[in-house]
Chain A
Amino acid sequence: MPNLAMTIKATIKYLIVALLITIVIVMGIYLLFGQEVNETLSIASKVAIDIENKKVEETTMNEDNKIQNYPEYGTQYATIEIPRINVNLPVYFGDTLEVLKKGVGHSSGSYFPGEGGSIIYMGHNSKNMFRRFSELQLGDEIKVTTSYGEYTYKIYDMQLIKETDVDKLPVQKEKEILMVYTCYPFNNIGYATQRYVVYAELEK
């Protein structure tokens, strides 16, 4: 009959050896590749977004006109109202086709309302969006309502540009200008290569 105490003692001894081997290997990997492993896991955790438990902070503006907590890409943060053509639409931060399917897109390279620079919005020329842009007149108002304030802009120019004329949509920070554009012709069939741009300056 085997001696139980002796058996347990020998088993524990070799389990400790196993533990030591594991510690040495894990420490070795950590010392040699720790940084790479952490970076890889960090990248992987960024593409594994826990949407359900994600805390979304409201976008606000401080006294120095600086935005706190910019909205997440693809989320709605404002509404745009153009009374003349009966438009009242949600504005999303982002300019992908996926975003434009939901409402008006905000070019991610431009400023936010209230920041004092160029704001670039875009939307489809479908019936319930900007199909009636041609009815707009100089002096018409465009109202943008965000979670941190209301901004009214007055139209001062309207232009027809090519889709490649990016210099006609300049991003600057000297003056708050809202540029809203849509595809042209409005009754286009197929892929439109022209854009109808409405320029408006901040009124209040």
Chain B
Amino acid sequence: MKILLNIIKFIIAIILTICVIALIIVNVASSTILNKEFILGKLDETNYYANIYTAVKSDFENYIYQSGLDESVLENIVPAEKIENDTKIIINNIYDGTNEDVDVTEIETNLRNNIENSLDYNLSATQQRTVNEFINRITQQYKDTITKTSYEDSINNMLEKARNIVDKLQKVSIIGIAVSFLIIIILSIKNLIAGLMLIGSTLISSGVFYILVNMIINAKVKIQNITILNDAISISLREIISTILKNLTTIGITLSIVGFVIIIIFAIIRSSKKEERENVEQ
């Protein structure tokens, strides 16, 4: 009977640990990748807007070589503030489901003025057409560099689904934690200290799990070398992933320490009580 009871308690402890792990995952997810403010904060922190400005200028230069135009026509066509505002439009489209488009009229006008000022003759009809095409390519390139995706709606839908899943998982985890905690206490009613020490073990397990996850990811993936699309995106992405892993590790270490302290405290209380009992019996 005692063995069966211990097996049941062990199984409940596993369920409790899984619920703790799940609750932490959903909380970290909703405060980081699912949180627009977190992403905007990280973009600021990693100098994203300045880096993307450099990427935009570099992409424009790719077109200048075959255009027969002087590089100076690209000067000051995109104000740095516009890049920041346009990036925020894209982030809003993704996170809030807005449907605002990036307006390139200002770039078009600035570029056209620069081209006209750089030439000391009137363009022929054919040249006018190729210049228009050049301006279209440049503005399209700007949109591509800024947005990097034409699937903002799909990403927004995915985020909405993820938020729903996270909400449900959060509720289920909290209920799971409460129920399994209660069951452990009820099953250990005759020896409450043992029940509390078992809960300490589940906290250590959850903590060790996160430390292990961090170690495995760091061993398999060189986070600081992640390279996607361009430097600006890569740098911000590395910072976002590193922050999430750092948060999980901090939580893991904290849980392990708390669990260990709980076990030690109740082990001391239990041995003191046992000692007292033995002294009284003597």
Contacts and interface: CB of A to CB of B under 8 A. Distances in A.
A25 B137 contact: no
Contacts of A49: 225, 227
Contacts of B274: 3, 6
A21 B201 contact: yes
Given A20-B10, A101-B61, A188 B68 contact: yes
A183 B208 CA distance: 61
A111 B59 CA distance: 28
A9 B38 CA distance: 45
A130 to B, nearest CB: 10
Interface string B134-151: 111100000000000000
Given A50-B225, A101-B61, A189-B130, A45 B220 contact: yes
A138 interface: no
Given A25-B209, A97-B59, A97-B62, A41 B220 contact: yes
B179 interface: no
Contacts of B221: 41, 44-45, 48
Interface in A34-49: 41, 44-45, 47-49
A14 B119 contact: no
B271 A187 contact: no
Contacts of A31: none
B172 interface: no
B14 interface: yes
A45 B131 CA distance: 43
Interface in A140-187: 182-183, 187
B136 to A, nearest CB: 8
A99 to B, nearest CB: 9
A10 B267 contact: yes
B220 A51 contact: no
Contact of A15 (B14, B119, B204): B204
Contacts of B90: none
A14 B132 contact: no
B205 interface: yes
Interface string A1-45: 111101110110011011111101110000000000000010011
Given A22-B209, A183-B66, A188-B68, A17 B13 contact: yes
A89 to B, nearest CB: 13
A98 interface: yes
Interface string A116-145: 000000001110010000000000000000
A25 to B, nearest CB: 6
A6 B271 CA distance: 6
Contact of B14 (A8, A24, A97, A183): A24
B114 to A, nearest CB: 13
A126 B132 contact: no
B8 interface: no
A7 B65 contact: no
Interface of B: 10, 13-14, 17-18, 21, 58-59, 61-63, 65-69, 119, 123, 127, 129-137, 197-198, 200-202, 204-205, 208-209, 212, 216-217, 220-228, 259-260, 263-264, 266-272, 274-275
14 contacts: A2-B269, A3-B272, A7-B270, A17-B10, A18-B208, A44-B220, A47-B228, A126-B65, A188-B66, A190-B67, A191-B66, A191-B67, A191-B131, A191-B134
Of all A-B residue pairs in the complex, the 5 with the closest CB atoms, nearest first, are A190-B130, A97-B62, A190-B131, A190-B134, A6-B271
Interface of A: 1-4, 6-8, 10-11, 14-15, 17-22, 24-26, 41, 44-45, 47-51, 97-98, 100-101, 124-126, 129, 182-183, 187-193
Given A6-B274, A190-B68, 13 more contacts: A4-B271, A7-B270, A7-B271, A10-B263, A10-B266, A14-B197, A18-B205, A18-B259, A21-B17, A98-B62, A129-B65, A191-B130, A191-B133
